[in-house]
């Protein structure tokens, strides 16, 4: 089927009928995941398509009908679609080229993904392996992850590179930023324009290659979900192709930050990245930045796969599966790829351009909800407690943060473990002897810094232990920095 052309022939007010109707019938991430038997909507898998259809067919709810129509590409007849959506909304969606009728059957040409409190149209997500060039990327696991972990506090100027359906640019605009979006695929920009209209925000679109169309401009927030799959085949789809290592586009994105990120600004990029012997990923990011001063580099790692497992997940629908699999595997082994990690990269431009770089990798459970408050606090803690100029207020009375339930120590008190509170997704590292001791001494949050420090001969060791607890989000109260 030819790819659809969405027409911006309706107003935001008319399109709000779609928001209202879908909200009323519970068309959201959690309900859809439950209906389709998944942990998260972002994990929709073409191989499970028959199971999704089966689940919708045996369910009589309006949600099941809407999911069949708007997410699974199922046809229905006009009376049923009108009963589900109402005649006014059907007419609006027909005018926009979304609903079409063919020989008595009505279908939605694009699909609709809910994400946080917004809706996004994309091309159909069910892959056959031979997808049309120019297809606009669906909301995948990567799209949802980036949306769920990117803080947007105090952002005035935002740029979304590799925008696809435009969701990250639209979230920035909704947070009050002047928002710009770039994609190399003109169809993606049509979707971005339509989705901005649908969600009642303004986004300035540029057709182009990465930073080329925003030369000379700087931003408080730069987001990107770039192509990243290491692909020996140069003919793979545009939303995936980033060369044999998968790093051609990510490297250019990072290298461009010195020209385009404001001091205090944040870069947030989701990707799968290869792991090699001899250089950590944080070191590679630092190398691409080209400076050992003025940057905070943080990765939030969700999971890690062997090359074979990773390749398997990216070749669904390929006709010559065995041969293609072998080609990919040979290429990965030749390049020395040991494993593939799924992670979000955060790079903060420090206010002090001469401060030494800091680098941190944090393990995180895979989120099926927004983790923005947790990530915001984590990044604030890194920026604060890793700043060499930081000194604690002597009157501050720190306590164990509610992120954690309790501190466990081993018999010899040589290390400690923090037990997470139930809503904590970010996995804590073990504490060293001094950190565990300091936390124990704080109990139950009644001693000020000057009192605590009296029992420490070594001021440097005290400060290091305090910083160590701070960067793990283990201290409260915490006042974030303004930058
Ligand atoms: C994985 S999709 C991500 C889409 C969307 N941002 C999301 O999170 O769902 C990657 C997008 O990058 C675009 N792209 C690929 N190479 C590009 C380049 N050199 N400059 C700008 N966009 C590019 C593709 O057209 C595609 O829309």
| Cα gap 20→200, rounded to integer Å | 13
Give the β-pairing of 295-305 and 358-363. Answer: parallel
| Cα gap 29→145, rounded to integer Å | 13
The 10 Å CB-count burial string (b at 16+, else e) for 100-123 is: eeeeeebbbbbbbbbbeebbbbbb
pTM: 0.95
| Residue 350 contacts residue 305 (beta carbons within 8 Å) | no
| Cα gap 13→21, rounded to integer Å | 13
| Residue ID of nearest Cα to ligand 1 atom 10 | 239
> Mean pLDDT over all residues of the chain?
93
Partners of 113 in the β-ladder: 120
Rounded alpha-carbon distances, angstroms, from residue 341 to 280, 286, 310, 346, 452? 12, 18, 9, 15, 41
| Residue 147 contacts residue 199 (beta carbons within 8 Å) | no
What pLDDT shows up at residue 56?
97
* Dihedral pair phi/psi, residue 399, rounded to 5°: -140, 170
| Cα gap 414→430, rounded to integer Å | 11
pLDDT digits (tens, 9 = 90+) for 128-172: 445 678 899 999 999 999 999 999 999 999 999 999 999 999 999
Whether CATH 3.40.50.720 fits 141-385: no
Does the pLDDT at position 187 exceed 90? Answer: yes
Instruction: Report the pocket of ligand 1 as residue ranges, CB < 6 Å.
Output: 137, 139, 143, 146, 162-165, 167-168, 182-185, 188, 209-210, 225-227, 238-239, 249
What pLDDT shows up at residue 238?
52
| Cα gap 182→160, rounded to integer Å | 6
What pLDDT shows up at residue 241?
65
Give the β-pairing of 118-122 and 111-115. Answer: antiparallel
What pLDDT shows up at residue 477?
85
- DSSP label at 4? P
* Dihedral pair phi/psi, residue 401, rounded to 5°: -65, 150
Is residue 239 very low, low, confident or very high in pLDDT (cuts 50, 70, 90)? low
Q: Which ligand 1 atom is nearest residue 226's CA? A: 10
pLDDT digits (tens, 9 = 90+) for 14-47: 999 999 999 999 999 999 999 999 999 999 888 8
| Residue ID of nearest Cα to ligand 1 atom 4 | 164
What pLDDT shows up at residue 318?
74
399 CA → ligand 1 middle, Å: 44
| Residue 478 contacts residue 445 (beta carbons within 8 Å) | no
Q: Which residues contact 2 (CB under 8 A, 6 or more apart)?
A: 132
| Residue ID of nearest Cα to ligand 1 atom 12 | 162
SS3 at position 30: helix
User: Highest mean pLDDT: which of 164-173, 241-250, 405-414?
Assistant: 164-173
Q: Give the position of tokens 């037990």.
A: 419
What pLDDT shows up at residue 480?
60
Pocket test for ligand 1, best of 164, 166, 189, 242 (most atoms within 8 A of CB): 164
247 CA → ligand 1 middle, Å: 14
User: Percent of the chain having pLDDT more than 90?
Assistant: 85
What pLDDT shows up at residue 2?
79
């Amino acid at each position: 089927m030819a790819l659809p052309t969405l027409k911006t022939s309706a107003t935001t007010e008319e399109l709000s009928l779609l928001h209202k109707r879908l909200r009323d019938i519970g068309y959201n991430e959690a309900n859809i995941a439950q209906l389709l038997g998944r942990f998260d909507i972002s994990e929709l898998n073409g191989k499970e398509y028959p199971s999704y259809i089966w689940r919708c067919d045996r369910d009589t709810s309006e949600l099941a009908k809407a999911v069949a129509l708007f997410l699974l590409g199922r046809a229905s007849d006009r009376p049923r679609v009108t009963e589900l959506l109402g005649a006014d909304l059907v007419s609006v969606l027909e005018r926009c080229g979304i609903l079409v009728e063919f020989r008595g059957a009505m279908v939605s040409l694009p699909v609709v993904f809910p994400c946080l409190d917004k809706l996004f149209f994309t091309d159909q997500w069910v892959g056959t392996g031979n997808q049309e060039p120019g297809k606009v990327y669906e909301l995948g696991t990567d799209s949802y992850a980036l949306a769920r972990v990117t803080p947007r506090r105090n952002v005035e100027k935002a740029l979304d590179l590799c925008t696809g359906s435009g969701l990250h640019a639209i979230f920035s605009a909704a947070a009050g930023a002047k928002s710009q979006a770039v994609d190399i695929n003109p169809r993606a920009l049509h979707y971005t324009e339509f989705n901005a209209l649908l969600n009642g925000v303004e986004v300035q679109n540029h057709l182009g290659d990465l930073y080329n169309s925003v030369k000379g401009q700087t931003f408080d927030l730069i987001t990107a979900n770039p192509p990243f799959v290491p692909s020996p085949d140069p003919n793979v789809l545009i939303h995936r192709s980033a060369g044999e290592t998968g790093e051609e586009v990510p490297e250019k994105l990072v290298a461009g930050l010195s020209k385009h990120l404001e001091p205090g600004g944040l870069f947030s990029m989701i990707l799968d990245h290869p792991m090699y012997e001899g250089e950590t990923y944080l070191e590679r990011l630092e190398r691409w930045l080209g400076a050992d001063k003025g940057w905070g580099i943080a990765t939030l790692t969700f999971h890690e796969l062997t090359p074979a497992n990773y390749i398997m997940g990216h070749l669904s629908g390929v006709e010559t599966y065995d041969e293609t699999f072998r080609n990919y595997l040979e290429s990965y082994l030749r390049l020395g790829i040991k494993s593939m990690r799924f992670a979000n990269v955060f790079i903060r431009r420090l206010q002090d351009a001469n401060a030494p770089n800091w680098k941190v990798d944090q393990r995180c459970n895979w989120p099926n909800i927004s983790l923005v408050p947790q990530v915001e606090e984590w990044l604030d803690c890194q920026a604060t407690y890793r700043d060499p100029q930081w000194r604690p207020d002597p009157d501050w009375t720190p306590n164990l943060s509610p992120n954690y339930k309790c501190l466990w120590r081993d018999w010899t008190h040589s290390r400690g473990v923090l037990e997470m509170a139930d809503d904590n997704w970010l996995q804590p590292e073990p504490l060293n002897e001094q950190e565990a001791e300091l936390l124990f001494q704080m109990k139950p949050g009644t001693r000020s810094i000057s009192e605590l420090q009296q029992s420490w001969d070594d001021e440097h060791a005290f400060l290091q232990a305090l910083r160590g607890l701070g960067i793990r989000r283990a201290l409260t109260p915490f006042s974030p920095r303004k930058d």
